[in-house]
Amino acid sequence: MPKNFETVSHENRSFEPPKVFAKEARIGSEAAYQELYQRSIADPEGFWAEAAQDLHWFKRWDSVLDSTEAPFYKWFDGAQTNICYNCLDRHLENGLGDRVALHWEGEPGDQISLSFSDLHAEVSRFANVLKKLGIGKGDRVAVYLPMIPELVISLLACARIGAVHSVIFGGFSADSIRDRVLDSKTKMVITADGGFRRGKILELKKIVDEGVAVCDCVQNVLVIKRGGEFDIDCPMTKGRDLWYEDLVDEVDATCPAEPMEAEDLLFLLYTSGTTGKPKGIMHTTAGYQVFTYLTSKYVFDLKPDDVYWCTADVGWITGHSYIVYGILQNGVTQVMYEGAPDFPNQGRFWEIIERYKVTTFYTAPTAIRAFMKWGDDWLAEKDLSSLRLLGTVGEPINPEAWMWYHAKVGAERCPIVDTWWQTETGGHMLTPMPGATATKPGCATVPFFGIEPDVLTEDGESVEAGILAIKQPWPGMLRGIYSDPQRFKETYWCKWGGKYYFPGDGARKDEDGYYWILGRVDDVVNVSGHRIGTAELESVFVEHTDVAESAVIGIPHEIKGQGLIAFVTVIDGREFDDKLRQELVAMIDKSIGKFARPERIVFSHDLPKTRSGKIMRRLLRDIAEGRELGNTTTLADPGVVKNLQVQFEK
């Protein structure tokens, strides 16, 4: 079992929802949660149909769930709707046009506030520009932007006209852009001249140029000026590249939202799996819409006066579901910040909370661990009394970090929602209900409505600690892997004969029925909340002509949660040296992005293998973590590990 098991199995502190919070909460008691949960499981279709009624539909559904072609489930089949309409137009119709939708703050300090009416106009203009450039229903549009308002605007504009967005996180390299663009046959790439990160300008357009140089499918690159008084060098290719600001003046701010079929593709988001090739996760319109709407509403206990802030980048699923779609559908004001948490100093986040009077703060455990390291003084000077709810996402949170978050940021007054979910699930799956669930540090606690989890053995037997499984389909679930239905079935639905969804995480169920996530059971590593497949790095290393073989593993890391260690063997006659090490690092930067750099690259003469030639990663983990070696009797050559231990300690 993964390492976290030992830490969390001793954790027995429990915190009741604060009374003041519970009194006002949407779900204000354990009994209220239980009642609604039981209803959602007994009659999921009735439950989800009722939730859907809050939203706007051009045409009502014929059936809520259609399982005839499972696991290719259909939700709200027959319905027509538009998620952008539900994020914007619906609020304008309800008289909320003047409410601030987005308080945006750039890293250098520039600020913009957009009301729902402003956002509606911006999105409509953007959508008209897209249409003018020949983008329509079903066309794939890649978005490679810094955290500027246009990132939200461009996604909503795509959704408004039925184009399929595929966001590529701004930390990815040119090669990653190329692979994603080619896989999805992207017609347009939206990017910016640059963006800010820790005081430096990231020249995104130049990375796009390199990435799409060989992509014939790309007809246009639409370039946004980051804005402000910054002059960013940005070469433009004639006939292909266009400045957004040159086009926007020629269109008006009226663009009706296109009625979309329930199962029309809304977006693709590529994520790492166990092979070298990232998967294009498919999310469709109606189910994702209802799921992100409802999870946001209950898990963040959203109220009209809230000021919500999620620190994730829109380049990841958290930003899609809980910056763009879930939050805007609830009509709540939010803060969006472009840059690093430690620029110009390590108090930046607390300053932002104070400035905008943030009520709901959603961040990652890796950030919390960094704040702890930076010291409490940064918080002490700031007024954080506006906060009423805290959340975490993306990786297991260690109890120490949870306790610090609870005491120092939440002043023991704010419930913490530790939300477990995935790119594939579209939204929250396991999470406390902030006004109802007693929380335990490090525990994702209980299922969201309509979600039926279990902990199973490989053979499907229900056990206390084992593999997490999800029994029923839910509206926000992925609908497939782009152009690879077989991989979709095999990856997620084959483990237990199609009866359960397999998320790839280990879990433990405690005596109160709470679920503790124990980390991945596959070869996916979670570095600072970013999913990285070890096979992705391995396939990059072996492209080097001098590398014979490689094995990459994840090990615990104090701040990042997990770090990567790469073991590399070279061909006969080649010496290990720093030059080779640098070449390998450069290859990772180029193929994936700097964020995927391993902590260490360890050269080895050989890798520990079974007699049938399988690399024994378990032993590599033992070596890297300085543990007593497990069973080595199945090794083909027991001498290999000794040698590796020596190399590792060098």
Nearer CB in complex with ligand WTA: 297/531: 531
* Given 173, 329, 419, 528, the residue binding ligand WTA (CB under 6 A): 419
Q: Does 271 bind ligand WTA (CB under 6 A)?
A: yes
* 639 Rama class: left (phi>0) / alpha (psi -120 to 50) / beta: alpha
Nearer CB in complex with ligand WTA: 187/531: 531
- Give the CA distances from residue 314 to residues 44, 73, 525, in Å, rounded to whole numbers and listed in that order: 30, 27, 20
Other CB atoms within a 10 A radius of the CB of residue 199 amount to 11
Q: Does 531 bind ligand WTA (CB under 6 A)?
A: yes
* Given 76, 85, 270, 316, the residue binding ligand WTA (CB under 6 A): 316
Question: Nearest distance from residue 292's CB to ligand WTA, in Å?
Answer: 12
Count the site residues for ligand WTA by CB under 6 A. 22
Q: Does 505 bind ligand WTA (CB under 6 A)?
A: yes
Interstrand relation of 279-284 and 265-271 (parallel, antiparallel or unpaired)? antiparallel
The rounded distance, in Å, linking the Cα atoms of 469 and 451 is 10
Backbone angles phi, psi at 616, to 5 degrees: -90, 90
Nearer CB in complex with ligand WTA: 209/523: 523
Nearer CB in complex with ligand WTA: 280/396: 396
> Residues 269, 278: contact at Cβ < 8 Å?
no
* Given 205, 279, 520, 621, the residue binding ligand WTA (CB under 6 A): 520
The rounded distance, in Å, linking the Cα atoms of 185 and 521 is 32
Q: Does 395 bind ligand WTA (CB under 6 A)?
A: yes
Nearer CB in complex with ligand WTA: 395/454: 395
Q: Does 300 bind ligand WTA (CB under 6 A)?
A: no
Q: Does 504 bind ligand WTA (CB under 6 A)?
A: yes
Tell me which residue of 634, 579, 627 sits closest to 603, measured CA to CA: 579
Question: Nearest distance from residue 294's CB to ligand WTA, in Å?
Answer: 17
* Given 79, 201, 207, 317, the residue binding ligand WTA (CB under 6 A): 317
Question: Nearest distance from residue 69's CB to ligand WTA, in Å?
Answer: 25
Return the ∠ at Cα 524 (arms to 462 and 155), rounded to 5°.
105
Q: In which residue are the tokens 């954790």 written?
A: 11
- 547-577: b or e for each residue (b if 16 or more CB lie within 10 Å)? bbbbbbbbbbbeebbbbbbbbbbbeeeeebe
Backbone angles phi, psi at 49, to 5 degrees: -65, -40
Identify the three-state secondary structure at position 537.
Answer: helix
Q: Does 523 bind ligand WTA (CB under 6 A)?
A: no
The rounded distance, in Å, linking the Cα atoms of 164 and 53 is 25
Nearer CB in complex with ligand WTA: 333/419: 419
Residue ranges in 471-555 assigned as alpha helix (H): 485-492, 534-541
Q: Does 506 bind ligand WTA (CB under 6 A)?
A: no
The rounded distance, in Å, linking the Cα atoms of 593 and 585 is 10
* Given 33, 73, 85, 421, the residue binding ligand WTA (CB under 6 A): 421
Q: Which stretch in 21-29, 240-248, 380-388, 417-425 sits in contact with ligand WTA by CB under 6 A?
A: 417-425
* 551 Rama class: left (phi>0) / alpha (psi -120 to 50) / beta: beta
Nearer CB in complex with ligand WTA: 251/559: 559
> Residues 456, 463: contact at Cβ < 8 Å?
yes
Identify the three-state secondary structure at position 208.
Answer: helix
Q: Which stretch in 61-69, 130-138, 223-231, 387-395 sits in contact with ligand WTA by CB under 6 A?
A: 387-395
Question: Nearest distance from residue 347's CB to ligand WTA, in Å?
Answer: 26
Nearer CB in complex with ligand WTA: 341/394: 394
Question: Nearest distance from residue 139's CB to ligand WTA, in Å?
Answer: 25
- Write out the binding residues for ligand WTA, residues 192-251 only, by CB under 6 A: none
Tell me the β-bridge partners of 557.
Answer: 561
Nearer CB in complex with ligand WTA: 442/608: 442
Nearer CB in complex with ligand WTA: 521/607: 521
Which tokens go with 572?
């006969």
Question: Nearest distance from residue 396's CB to ligand WTA, in Å?
Answer: 4
Which helix (H) or strand (E) element contains residue 565? strand 561-570
The rounded distance, in Å, linking the Cα atoms of 517 and 557 is 17
* Given 106, 278, 315, 394, the residue binding ligand WTA (CB under 6 A): 394
Nearer CB in complex with ligand WTA: 295/334: 295
> Residues 179, 217: contact at Cβ < 8 Å?
no
- Write out the binding residues for ligand WTA, residues 433-472 only, by CB under 6 A: 444
* Given 318, 346, 360, 437, the residue binding ligand WTA (CB under 6 A): 318
DSSP category for residue 408: I
**Nearest residue relative to ligand WTA (C-beta):** 423
> Residues 245, 225: contact at Cβ < 8 Å?
yes
DSSP letters along 324-338, please? IIHHHHTT-EEEEE-
Q: Which stretch in 67-75, 154-162, 499-507, 580-588 sits in contact with ligand WTA by CB under 6 A?
A: 499-507
Q: Which stretch in 141-149, 169-177, 214-222, 312-320 sits in contact with ligand WTA by CB under 6 A?
A: 312-320
Q: Does 550 bind ligand WTA (CB under 6 A)?
A: no
Nearer CB in complex with ligand WTA: 263/395: 395
Q: Does 313 bind ligand WTA (CB under 6 A)?
A: no
Q: Does 418 bind ligand WTA (CB under 6 A)?
A: yes
Amino acid identity, residue 501?
Y
> Residues 444, 468: contact at Cβ < 8 Å?
no
Nearer CB in complex with ligand WTA: 154/271: 271
Identify the three-state secondary structure at position 550.
Answer: strand
Q: Does 517 bind ligand WTA (CB under 6 A)?
A: yes
Q: Which stretch in 223-231, 256-264, 498-506, 625-633 sits in contact with ligand WTA by CB under 6 A?
A: 498-506
> Residues 526, 422: contact at Cβ < 8 Å?
no
* Given 278, 399, 450, 503, the residue binding ligand WTA (CB under 6 A): 503
Question: Nearest distance from residue 578's CB to ligand WTA, in Å?
Answer: 33
Question: Nearest distance from residue 418's CB to ligand WTA, in Å?
Answer: 5
Interstrand relation of 453-456 and 465-470 (parallel, antiparallel or unpaired)? antiparallel
CA terminus-to-terminus distance, the chain: 28
Interstrand relation of 74-77 and 140-144 (parallel, antiparallel or unpaired)? unpaired
Q: Does 172 bind ligand WTA (CB under 6 A)?
A: no
Sequence-ordered strand ranges (E) for 145-298:
164-167, 188-192, 195-197, 200-202, 220-224, 241-243, 260-261, 265-271, 279-284
> Residues 39, 47: contact at Cβ < 8 Å?
yes
Question: Nearest distance from residue 129's CB to ligand WTA, in Å?
Answer: 31
Nearer CB in complex with ligand WTA: 80/311: 311
- Write out the binding residues for ligand WTA, residues 60-89 only, by CB under 6 A: none
Residues forming the site for ligand WTA (CB under 6 A)? 271, 316-318, 393-396, 418-423, 444, 503-505, 517, 520, 526, 531
